Amino acid sequence: MSTSSRPASTTTSGAAPAESFAAAAARSAALEDQITTDPSRFRVLTGDRPTGALHLGHYFGTLANRVRLQHAGVEVLLVIADYQVITDRDSVGNLSGAVLELVADYLAAGIDPATATIFAHSAVPALNQLMLPFLSLVTDAELRRNPTVKAEADAASGRALSGLLLTYPVHQAADILFCHANLVPVGRDQLPHVEATRSIARRFNDRYAAGASVFPEPDALLTSAPVLLGTDGAKMSKSRGNAIELCATEDGTARLVRRAKTDAERTITYDPEHRPAVANLLLIAALCTGGDPSQIADFLGDAGAGALKALVTESVNEHLRPLRQRRAELVADPSYLLDVLRAGNARAIEVADSTLECVRHVMDMTY
């Protein structure tokens, strides 16, 4: 899953070492081949926290890949992780509005609700009930070693973690396992997140199901999504105010790009290591036009940062224009967005109820 928007799964260990990444990359490549051959074998679970408007980084990082997988014939489930909003916040804010905004983003980006399942975490009681047996399978120490939990603890500057945040990794496992998802699209830094879910599935099968495969161990589907920088040179983020939002107007996009950080050199070159801000703008233009960032730099030559920003603005607005038009139509009809969400909730409830019934059976809890 995503970042502010956190990933759909979490981990009990640290970042994946090089040898683990190499193995995961090979496995992911094999999975892509299998998707091409028989997409019906796969079910993907991913999603986002409804904590703000999605932006260009989300679009090229996750949304476009979800649409690709759906078009390939993979079953896609998208969880809107509303309970996760309160893992690190004191107030939910306008949560219902934020949830519908996410639904609009998904549909405008090309997700087809006729085949994809879009649902809210809080609307699926049986999913959340799976938390209890899953919590019995992890230790306090494992939870505290989780990279997401550790990062939040560091950012809290001594403030005590909530129980909800501490158990965040298990929430992620429940999101994936309740629907027996077997693919989780992630970047390299999120590989340990999938491993945690695999561990919980394995432990449940061994401890409570006498080794029977109640839950599959999901695979990571590695994405090569680029990390886009915001207008301030830091990673594009909902919370930093540095992002080109999908819902922004064309004039708003132009204002954001005009204030984007560059450097003092007039000649435009694609050099991510030494000129990251300029390289980022070139990458954005390339992603939006399907071009090559080095060739775009050669085209601009010594035209300067102003010409680069004008090109980026035109490229972004041209690429997002159909999405934004569709999104405007969707948000103008909130009843339709609610219908989509309720239909997805109903489907997720059906799946979760069936899973919980199976869990109760193997745990001898059918009374």
Max CA distance (Å), the chain? 76
Mean of pLDDT values over 319-344: 97
pLDDT confidence tier of residue 16, bands split at 50, 70 and 90? low
**pLDDT (tens digit per residue) in 230-254:** 989 898 887 788 899 999 999 999 9
Rounded to an integer, the average pLDDT of 29-35 is 94
Whether the per-residue pLDDT at 6 is higher than 60: the answer is no
pLDDT of residue 53: 87
8-17, 296-305, 315-324 — which is least confidently predicted? Answer: 8-17
Q: What burial letters (b/e) apply to 75-105, b meaning 16+ CB within 10 Å?
A: bbbbbbbbbbbebbeeeeeebeebbbbbbbb
Q: Which two tokens stand for residue 292?
A: 């090559």
- pLDDT reading at 349 higher than 90: yes
Has domain 18-227+334-362 been given CATH number 3.40.50.620? yes
Q: How far is CA 356 from CA 8, 19, 133, in A?
A: 20, 36, 10
From CA 270, how far away is CA 275, in angstroms rounded?
Answer: 7
Residues 6+ away with beta carbon under 8 Å from 192: 10, 11, 12, 13, 14, 15, 16, 147
What pLDDT, in 10s, does the model give residues 274-313? 999 999 999 999 999 999 999 999 999 999 999 999 999 9
pLDDT of the residue at 19: 65
pLDDT at 161: 82
Q: Which residues, other chains included, contact 98 with Cβ-Cβ below 8 Å and sequence gap of 6+?
A: 50, 51, 52
Q: How confident is the model at residue 330 (pLDDT cuts 50, 70, 90)?
A: very high
Provide the 8-state DSSP code for 92.
-
Q: pLDDT at residue 272 above 90?
A: yes
What CATH code would you report for 250-331?
A: 1.10.240.10
pLDDT score at 17: 62
**Predicted pLDDT of residue 36:** 95
**pLDDT the model gives residue 9:** 36
Residue corresponding to tokens 């399907």: 290
pTM: 0.90
Task: For residues 24-34, give the mean pLDDT.
Answer: 92
Q: Where are the domains of the chain?
A: 18-227+334-362, 250-331
